Each structure stands twice: as C-alpha cells, then as structure tokens.
Structure 1
Amino acid sequence: MTQWNVDAVMNIAERPDIVMVAGEGSWLTDNQGKRYLDFLQGWAVNCLGHSHPAIVEAISEQAGKLINPSPAFYNEPMIALSQLLVKHSGFDQVFFANSGAEANEGAIKLARKWGSKYKNGAYEIICFERAFHGRTLATMSASGKPEWAELFTPKLAGFKHVPLNDINAVLAAINKNTVAVMLEPVQGEAGVIAADPLFLRQLREVTKKQDLLLIVDEVQTGMGRTGQLFAHQHADIQPDMMTLGKGLGGGFPLSALLVTDQVACFDFGDQGGTFNGNPLATAAGLAVLTELIRPGFMDAVNEKSQQLSRSLKTLQQHDRYGLIKSVRGQGLLQAICFHRPVAKELMKRAFQAGLLINATQADVIRFMPSLLISEDEIGLMEDIMLQQVLNR
C-alpha cells in the first residue's frame, strides 16, 4: 500500500493493508488489482450489490438537480420514497435519517415522548440480551452486548434486558414505567439468532394488552434481506414503529423511522437533522425500493436463499475436521456456527482466498451477500470455503 499514507485515518477497526478501489455486483477490487467475492456487502448494506446501475443513475441524475435544500423544505424524492414505504409497510409516516443508530435513537426518543404524553411519564424500554441497536450512547445502552457493559459508563438509564424468545421474562420486566419493547427480528451481530415467529406474535399481543409500543429494529433485516420485504412480516404482525437502514440506501447513507399515526407525537423541534431526508439520499432509496418491489424479485431472493442454505449445509457435511456445529439464519442472512472459536482464523483464510465473510462472534461466521447474488457465485463461495478455508 505504498502509494497511500493512512496515518490520518482514525484507527477504529482492524483493517488489512489494502485499499478497496472499485466494486461491481458481488465483486470488490483492491488497489493491487485483486478481486474479492463479497459475501459481506458492507454488513448487508449493498442489497443490490456494488454500484448497481439503478442507484448510480438515480444519484447521478439527482446530483445534477438538487442535493440538499435543507430539511426545512419538502423535496420530491423524500415525498416519493415516503409514500412508497408507507404503501408497502403498513405504517403511516416516515422520518428519514442517515444511519441505523440515528433511526433507533429517534425511535427511543419518540417512545419516551409518547410515554410522557399518554402513559403518565413512562420511559423504560424492554430490550434483549445480545441485541445490537447502534453505537450512540442511547443505542449502546439499549443494546445487550456483554462486551459493552462497562464501556462509556454511565450508560443511559431506562433499559431492561431479558432473554430473547422468553415471553415470561418480558412479562416479569413490565412495570408502571414501561413504555415499549424493542427488538431485532434476527439478532445479526449476536450471530444471526432469530426471534421465533410465535414469540413475535406473543409480544404483539402482550404489548397491545398492556398499552405498550412494539418497536422492531430492521436496520439489518429490512429491505428484503430475510426473504420478505421486512422480517416481522414472517410472523404476520404490525408493530408500532420500525427502523430501517443499511440496505435502504443500497450503499448510500440513509435510514428511516416508520410509525403509525397513533404514535407520531413529536412536536416541532423535537427531532431533526441537517442532512435528514435530503434528495440525494432519498433518490438512492427510491431506486432501491423500486427494484425490490418489482414482480418476481423477492421470489428470486427466496430461491437464492434456499441455495445458500444448501451450500452451507454441504460445507457442514464435507467439513473434514468437524469444525461446524450448525447452520442457521433466514433469507440471505445466514451463519455457520462452530464448535470452537475458529471464526476469525477462517475469515482470514477466506480473505486470502479472495472471499469476504464476517466473523461476527468467535464461533460464528455470517454471510450477507447481495440480494442479486448469482447461483454461480454461491457455488464459487462453496468451493472456496471447502477447498481453501475449512479443509486447508
């Protein structure tokens, strides 16, 4: 990497000694000309792959017209994307932001505002162990990562954490100060751990009965990732709030908080952001959602999901050293779980072989390819994993 001096870049992550310079579809290219089959896709960000023509065209065209008039004014892509999201989600109103953490922060603020107005000042939110909701102080407090327990203390008060898929633990945690329950339909950072559909339906029943809000964090699971447009749709429930990010912009920074009319109680000045809802970002989001709702798109995603599942199970069957414990996940968000903490070493081997995967836990590798991944590319991933990673 002799032509770049990276000393001015804050060192917040372990990065290899290369620079990524180009991407197309399921492939990334580094500054040395090496190509990588990308089953990471920016942590499920590039739902249509790298530099999808529809996104490139939308951004290019919009940049020539209007980039940011300020959030004090409506703009055309903001309105169009809001209407399309409402039409396909069952929610009534949309607030746009720039990151998943910012959308989740908005959900937390709105829940507390609703509690102050309609529930005698209730403010506590029940969250779940091992959950991940972002890296702001509030969203880190809402998260249930054990590694963060003593990080950046004191944490923001008002969050209780209970085990996922345990409705009795939720019931025991409810008190007069409880205003909402917040969860990921699939806990991605925890190692692709899904909330059971029955548990989601029980949560919806309990929250309605107890006059609590149900918030689903679909920053990672939304935008077709699990085989439905939104993961909670697998359980056939309608939450009160939903947050989106990552795949919503297809690689461009964009997130959203979707709510029902009954919950939307912000007063002017309560929520905002300099770049929120800008036409460049929402034009990208509009291009993404337009692709996802095309006839047959989600059918193809589910077909590729089944192929990915078969490939990962094939890896387990042909695992010469007996490393693989299980395969789990939903749609094109899947994981291999190992008997031992070997994930980081296997991820490094895959990188050397030109395959990008993610060791989300010491014993879990996560696969998050483009929703447009091809059958041949899934097959190539399987070959690399078998020949150059697992059985090396």
Structure 2
Amino acid sequence: MIPSILPTYARAPLTFISGEGSWLTEADGRRFLDFGAGIAVNVLGHAHPALVAALTEQAKTLWHVSNLYNIPAQQKLADALVDKTFADTVFFTNSGTEACELAVKMARKYWFDKGSDRTDIITFSGSFHGRSSAGIAAAGSEKMTKGFGPLLPGFIHLEFGDHEALNAAANDRVAAIMVEPVQGEGGIRPLPDACLKGLRDLCDTHGILLILDEVQCGMGRTGKLFAHEWAGITPDIMMIAKGIGGGFPLGGVLATQEAASGMTAGTHGSTYGGNPLACAVGAKVLEIVGDDAFMSDVNRKAGLLRQKLESLVDGNPDVFESVRGSGLMLGLKCKVANSDVVNAGYANGLLTVPAADNVVRLLPALNIGEDDIEMAVEKLENAAQQITRAHA
C-alpha cells in the first residue's frame, strides 16, 4: 500500500524535531551536528534569532497579497540584490527549479523579440538544474530523464571540461550557455576561474547569453557572495535559491536590463513568489551574509576546515581520495562507497550529503563555530576508522 507521502525519497531513519545553530535534535533526544544545512540552505544555521525575529515581525502584519500589488518587503530585497550584484532586475520564485524555468524562458524570449530563431541552450554533464521538465531536459542524464519523455527540446549536452566540443557547438543558433560555477549534485566540481572567464569571452564573441546557476553555490557558500565573483566576470542571467531564504522557501532570477528585455507584463508570473514572509527573511539573510566582515570570517573558517580535511584524507587513504570544492562547499571524494561514509556519519551524530562521482558533500552553516568544525572532523575520523575496521 502506498504511503501517504509519495515515496520518491529513500529517507534516512531520522526524525528531527528542533534545531539550534549547527545542531539538530532527533525525536529520541540524540543530537546531530549538521554538515548538510538542508542541502546548502540553512546558511545561518537553525533558528537564527535575527531570522526568527524578521519572520515573526512580518507574520504579525501581512503574509500574502499576491503579485497583483506592490510588496514593500519584495522591493527592499530586490533593491539590495541589485545593489550588491551585476543585476538590474530580479524576479522572485519559491525555489531553484522555478528559477530555472524562468531563466530558460527569459533567454529564449530575448532572442524571439529580436527576430532571431536562436533557441538552443548549451549545458554540461554532471549538471543539476532542478526536477521540472525544463530542468531535467537541461541536465539530460538518464537518471534525471528516464521515463519522463518526451523531453523539452532545445538543449545541447556537452561533456564537462570539453573545450573543443564547446567551441564547435557555439554558433548563431545558440541562445545561451547555462552552467553551475560549482556543480553541487554533480560531486562538488568547481569550474576553474580561467574556464569561467573563457565562457564569458566565448559568449561575448558569439552574442550568446551566459546563464549561471548559483542555486547551491551562491549566497556566500564559496567565500564570496556569489561564486562567479572569484573569476571577475558577470553573467547575463543568474538563478538563485537555497541560501537566500536561510531555510524559508525563496528563489529568484537576476538579470541585466538587456537580458530581461523580453519579459514584459504577462510573460511570467508566480502566485507566491516574492511574498512578504519570504522576502522579509531573505532581506535579513542578505544583510548578514553580504557583510564584508562576515564573508572574511567564512573564508577563514573555510581554510581551517580544508586544512583539517586534507589531514583526514592523508590519515585515511583507504577511505578517502581527495578534498575538492571552494569555501564551505566542500566534497570528500571517497574510495569506499560514499553511502558508507554518510551512514557512518549518522552513527557518529554527523549529517552529510551524498553526491555524484562518489563524493560526500560538506555544507555547514556559514556561521559555524570553530569548535563545531573540530568536532565534525573528529566525527569523520571516527567514521573512517569504523569503515576501515569493517572492511579489514
């Protein structure tokens, strides 16, 4: 008999009832150190007082009116994002998946309004852009698409890092190139700065729009507010979600005036997108995470964690192969099954997130304390030792 919750997840046997900072409490009283942060969502941990206050204050006055009217909290957040980024305009969604849908529409509508038949969008192996029809068609992998055809056409799938194929594919039929500066689901695979610069140059040469998916790697996760800043380039369109809401469902598409020129009244909409509750929380998250001193501290802690993880890998060569990633978006490439590491983490009170390429993702809150970093690595060490003994 099918359960009341559609069984599309193979859930861990854990039920959390409360959280504070980087810790979660299970129904049986056990405490877990959270190094998954709800898959890079809880950038300020659980129950952050400033976010609780922002949500509570807004909840006392207004929850929802729809986008038929002006929403002051939405305007405040949009203005702040425009001020801190390349963008001239923002559309708010409830998720990264919805942001992908709009990014695809925006790129194609841009060329349609110019009288061009450019519709193709280049994407890369290992990518993840959500689970909508456009998102799975963009990723193109069998895991994402099997059984869900016919797929939305117009996507060109290239191997990650194949520069020759990319140069050959870039022509006057291509509307956009869509890429994650750091692949999350794909196994914490950063796109080198030189490659991101090369993509920007290629797009400029051929008049192609550059869409960056910063749903997972954005909002301070890599040590800058957005990951593309490390390369010193800007996109035409950018998808955000996850961290911007600090745990409250919120996403968005940021764009230049030129790239967004086709999106006029009636071309897109959202009933809940940019509602007062979400935007009140998002504005507070951006205020905290967007502070230079906060970001400097993220980079300091990221360096500490990276150093300790490198020692962990060196000390457990039968379990781990390498550390990869940027900032507090790190991955442990495993020699044993990554599920073994995740499950051993559970047994030691540590939450991590599996990814492709046999990688375990480490995505702690950006305001995690040094003591919690020390403890997380100790728990990983214990997990590795247990795995080694079990395999002996």
Does the TM-score normalized on the shorter chain lie above 0.5?
A: yes
- Verify: 1:236 aligned to 2:232, yes or no: yes
Q: What residue is the counterpart of 2:352 in the other structure?
A: 357
CA offset digits 1:227-259 (Å, max 9, x no partner): 000000000001101110000000000001000
- Deviating more after overlay: 302-311 vs 173-182: 173-182
Is the 2:96–2:215 contact (alpha carbons within 8 Å) kept by the matching residues of 1?
yes
Is the 2:136–2:145 contact (alpha carbons within 8 Å) kept by the matching residues of 1?
no
Is the 2:171–2:206 contact (alpha carbons within 8 Å) kept by the matching residues of 1?
no
SS at match of 1:182: strand
SS at match of 2:284: helix
Q: What residue is the counterpart of 2:28 in the other structure?
A: 32
- Verify: 1:283 aligned to 2:305, yes or no: no
- AA at the equivalent of 2:315: H
SS at match of 2:157: strand
Moved over 4 A (4+): none
CA displacement at 1:8 relative to structure 2:
1.9
Q: What residue is the counterpart of 1:387 in the other structure?
A: 382
1:313 to 303, 310, 332: 310
Structure 1 residues 362 and 391 mapped into 2: Cα distance closer, same or farther (>3 Å)?
farther
Aligned length: 385
Measure, in 1, the Cα distance between the counterparts of 2:195 and 2:383. 40
The CA RMSD measured in Å over matched residues stands at 1.4
CA displacement at 1:293 relative to structure 2:
2.1
- AA at the equivalent of 1:266: M
SS at match of 1:337: strand
Measure, in 1, the Cα distance between the counterparts of 2:145 and 2:59. 43
- AA at the equivalent of 1:125: I
- AA at the equivalent of 1:39: F
- Deviating more after overlay: 139-148 vs 33-42: 139-148
Seq. identity, %: 39
Is the 2:16–2:25 contact (alpha carbons within 8 Å) kept by the matching residues of 1?
yes
- AA at the equivalent of 2:263: F
- Verify: 1:374 aligned to 2:366, yes or no: no
Measure, in 1, the Cα distance between the counterparts of 2:348 and 2:82. 43
Measure, in 2, the Cα distance between the counterparts of 1:128 and 1:80. 35
Give ranges in structure 1 of 5+ residues lacking alignment: 1-5
Is the 1:346–1:390 contact (alpha carbons within 8 Å) kept by the matching residues of 2?
no
Q: What residue is the counterpart of 1:46 in the other structure?
A: 42
CA displacement at 1:163 relative to structure 2:
2.0
Measure, in 1, the Cα distance between the counterparts of 2:377 and 2:277. 37
CA displacement at 1:322 relative to structure 2:
1.8
Is the 1:130–1:146 contact (alpha carbons within 8 Å) kept by the matching residues of 2?
no
Residue correspondence of structure 1 range 111-130 to structure 2 within 5 A: 111-118=107-114, 120-130=116-126
Measure, in 2, the Cα distance between the counterparts of 1:129 and 1:67. 40
Structure 1 residues 388 and 150 mapped into 2: Cα distance closer, same or farther (>3 Å)?
closer
Measure, in 2, the Cα distance between the counterparts of 1:248 and 1:390. 37
CA displacement at 1:146 relative to structure 2:
4.0
The alignment's TM-score, normalised by the length of structure 1, stands at 0.95
The alignment's TM-score, normalised by the length of structure 2, stands at 0.95
- Verify: 1:173 aligned to 2:169, yes or no: yes
CA displacement at 1:112 relative to structure 2:
0.8
- Verify: 1:302 aligned to 2:299, yes or no: yes
Structure 1 residues 388 and 167 mapped into 2: Cα distance closer, same or farther (>3 Å)?
closer
Measure, in 2, the Cα distance between the counterparts of 1:49 and 1:110. 33
1:209 to 205, 208, 230: 205
Measure, in 2, the Cα distance between the counterparts of 1:388 and 1:202. 41
CA displacement at 1:318 relative to structure 2:
1.3
CA displacement at 1:162 relative to structure 2:
1.0
- Deviating more after overlay: 160-169 vs 26-35: 160-169
Give ranges in structure 2 of 5+ residues lacking alignment: 388-392
- Verify: 1:292 aligned to 2:289, yes or no: yes
Q: What residue is the counterpart of 2:249 in the other structure?
A: 253
CA offset digits 1:247-290 (Å, max 9, x no partner): 00000000010000011121221111100111110001001000
- AA at the equivalent of 1:286: A
Measure, in 1, the Cα distance between the counterparts of 2:350 and 2:117. 51
Structure 1 residues 345 and 339 mapped into 2: Cα distance closer, same or farther (>3 Å)?
closer
Measure, in 2, the Cα distance between the counterparts of 1:119 and 1:127. 24
CA offset digits 1:68-97 (Å, max 9, x no partner): 111111111100100000010021000000
CA displacement at 1:292 relative to structure 2:
1.0
SS at match of 1:172: helix
Q: What residue is the counterpart of 1:143 in the other structure?
A: 139
Is the 2:172–2:206 contact (alpha carbons within 8 Å) kept by the matching residues of 1?
no
1:10 to 6, 9, 15: 6
Is the 2:92–2:253 contact (alpha carbons within 8 Å) kept by the matching residues of 1?
yes
Structure 1 residues 161 and 362 mapped into 2: Cα distance closer, same or farther (>3 Å)?
closer
Measure, in 2, the Cα distance between the counterparts of 1:374 and 1:151. 44
- Verify: 1:61 aligned to 2:57, yes or no: yes
Q: What residue is the counterpart of 2:17 in the other structure?
A: 21
2:150 to 146, 151, 154: 154
Measure, in 1, the Cα distance between the counterparts of 2:357 and 2:40. 20
Measure, in 2, the Cα distance between the counterparts of 1:266 and 1:387. 53
CA displacement at 1:391 relative to structure 2:
4.3
Is the 1:37–1:381 contact (alpha carbons within 8 Å) kept by the matching residues of 2?
yes
Measure, in 1, the Cα distance between the counterparts of 2:383 and 2:253. 42
CA displacement at 1:362 relative to structure 2:
6.0
Measure, in 1, the Cα distance between the counterparts of 2:141 and 2:285. 31
SS at match of 2:10: coil
Is the 1:343–1:361 contact (alpha carbons within 8 Å) kept by the matching residues of 2?
no
Measure, in 2, the Cα distance between the counterparts of 1:78 and 1:53. 21
